[in-house]
Amino acid sequence: MEHSSHDKGQHHYGRLAIELTLDFIVMYLVMYTMIAALAHFHFNLNNVYMTMMMVAPMTLIMLISMRSMFPSPRLNIMIVGLPLSSLSLASSPCEPKPALATPSSCAR
pLDDT for 19-61, tens place per residue? 999 999 999 999 898 888 888 888 888 888 889 999 999 999 9
Size of the chain in residues: 108
pLDDT at 102: 54
pTM of model > 0.85: no
φ, ψ dihedrals at 31, nearest 5°: -65, -15
The answer to whether the beta carbons of residues 52 and 89 sit under 8 Å apart is: no
- Three-state SS for 4? coil
Q: What is the mean pLDDT of the chain?
A: 81
Distance separating alpha carbons of residues 94 and 76, to the nearest angstrom: 29
pLDDT at 44: 85
Lowest-confidence region among 1-5, 20-24, 52-56, 101-105: 1-5
Distance separating alpha carbons of residues 88 and 80, to the nearest angstrom: 12
The answer to whether the beta carbons of residues 94 and 101 sit under 8 Å apart is: no
Rounded alpha-carbon distances, angstroms, from residue 61 to 33, 53, 68, 92, 104 = 26, 13, 13, 22, 33
The answer to whether the beta carbons of residues 6 and 71 sit under 8 Å apart is: yes
pLDDT at 7: 57
Residue 12: CB atoms within 10 Å? 15
